[in-house]
Amino acid sequence: MPKRDEIWKEKAKEIEEKSGWDCGIHEHSLNEEQEELEHAEQCVKKMLGAYAINKDNYVVDGATISCSYMTNKAIHIKFDEDKTSIWLGSDKPMETTTVYTEKFGTYEIKAPMGAAEVGKLRVIHGESQTDNGKPFATVIERSYLRMEEKKEETSTSNENKKACGASIVSCGNCKKLQTPDILHITRNWDKAKRYGTCYCLIKPDEKWINPFCMESVTENCENEKEKQDCAKQHHHTMKFSTTEGEQEGLTMMSTLLCMRGGVITVEWSGQSSISLDERYVKLLEGIDRRKGRIEEYKIDFILSVFPSLLEEEKRSGIPVEVLFAQICTESGYGEKAPGNNYFGIKGEGSKGSVNVSTTEEIDGEDVSIKDDFRAYGSMEESIEDHTDLLLNVYKKYVTTGTVEDWIDALIEGGYATDSNYKEELMGVCSYWGLMD
């Protein structure tokens, strides 16, 4: 049975190939074998970091899944008067003395290749939607059809006797056979012929598992403390709303263990292609260069907020560099956000306002004042309201739409009183490697 870490490495390689990832450093420029190994590990980490931060890479309803125990070979069952045998392809038959009087002769269960329900993942609990209207899959999407049908049969509630739904119908025929499987297959004979023996035998774990952190894929976490540190800094799998609360989303790196020993993985996310954001890679590179020389709270803040800012860029067309520079500057990297106001916007928000002290530049002098600032229920509300403000008030000053042009629009529209505001925002972008 393949181990999870081996599958993660294989999936990372597959993602790298499908995305056309180019780190920008050619391996032939590295002199030593150790340098090449370290370079490869760093590339994987950065590539997966950029992969996990983009919603376009997450699994949606209708994705394709596969199991490491799936086979294209037919399964044969022979019912005799004194025994029953089962075998795969040309393998040696396994026999049991159990006799099934309702059947006699040899039967073949072909792998149901091309069957619409087989090898698909259906989202039962998802609430959030993608751009194409399909809900995201999360780690709790592991219910299987046989289990749901059994629940329906034993239910005494009329409400539960409606058509049952399951995340997984079957992955096809299972190549791991045991003599007790004959009983389960015979009991579900029609479904086995239609969906493959996986329908009869599948027993998945409680949840899908995402890599503990990106470093776990490159084996850079050697002990529990390192794993905890890595998870804090690099485990940024997106979460989505479900009927059971916020849950981690699924990607091609996710795995679901079947109790029979097979590992179920995602072959196609259900979305068009793999997308990597180069600016996030630059952000990771900027963090790596400054490790040990920068406060941890800044690292935690920018890694947690950047995915939301990328989504706002898609929604609004405002460069993520502008949103990033403003949220870091206005909130002090999340340390100064009274009322969940991360952009220093005055007035009244969804939760009213908060009166706080601030410093403004008046006639070239810094003056301390108190004023009312918008209050929000969450950081997400603050980000969305800020984006709307820029679109409604400041976009009219935009000409070319570049990062610098947008910052000039903020200055022209009077977003801040600080005469050095443009230099501060440009400096944040440059410091973190988002601009040359």
Each residue of 185-241: pLDDT tens digit? 999 999 999 999 999 999 999 999 988 765 666 665 555 555 555 555 555 788 899
CB 49 within 8 A of CB 284: yes
CB 376 within 8 A of CB 353: no
Of the three residues 232, 248, 268, the one that is the final residue of a domain is 268
The number of C-alpha atoms within 13 Å of 168 and in the hemisphere containing its C-beta is: 31
In a domain, 131, yes or no: no
CB 137 within 8 A of CB 123: yes
Q: Given this model, what pLDDT does residue 159 score? A: 46
Residues 427 and 306 both lie in one domain:
yes
Residues 88 and 187 both lie in one domain:
yes
CB 341 within 8 A of CB 382: yes
Residue-wise burial string across 307-345, b where 16 or more C-beta atoms lie within 10 A, e elsewhere:
bbbbbbbeebebbbbbbbbbbbbbbebbeebbbbbbbbb
In a domain, 122, yes or no: no
Q: Given this model, what pLDDT does residue 162 score? A: 42
* Phi, then psi, of 361 in degrees rounded to 5: -90, 120
CA dist., res. 366 & res. 363, Å (int): 8
Residues 6+ apart with CB under 8 A from 243: 125, 127
User: Which structural domain range is residue 417 located in?
Assistant: 278-431
Count how many domains the chain has: 3
In a domain, 132, yes or no: no
In a domain, 170, yes or no: yes
In a domain, 123, yes or no: no
Q: Given this model, what pLDDT does residue 2 score? A: 61
Q: What pLDDT digit, counting tens, does each position of 289-339 carry?
A: 787 888 889 988 988 898 889 889 988 999 999 999 999 999 999 999 999
Residues 292 and 332 both lie in one domain:
yes
Cβ burial of 371 (10 Å; 0-12, 13-18, 19+) is: middle
Q: Given this model, what pLDDT does residue 33 score? A: 56
- pLDDT of residue 30 exceeding 60, the answer is no
CA dist., res. 124 & res. 140, Å (int): 9
- pLDDT of residue 158 exceeding 60, the answer is no
Task: Determine the 3-state secondary structure of 417 from DSSP.
Answer: coil
Residues 90 and 182 both lie in one domain:
yes
Which DSSP state fits 367? Answer: E
Helix intervals (H) in 208-365: 214-217, 224-234, 278-289, 296-316, 320-331
More confident residue, 99 or 38: 99
Residues 303 and 338 both lie in one domain:
yes
Average pLDDT on 406-414 reads 96
In a domain, 153, yes or no: yes
- pLDDT of residue 264 exceeding 90, the answer is yes
Residues 218 and 319 both lie in one domain:
no
In a domain, 135, yes or no: no
Q: Given this model, what pLDDT does residue 142 score? A: 95
CB 61 within 8 A of CB 242: no
Helix intervals (H) in 53-180: 145-154
In a domain, 309, yes or no: yes
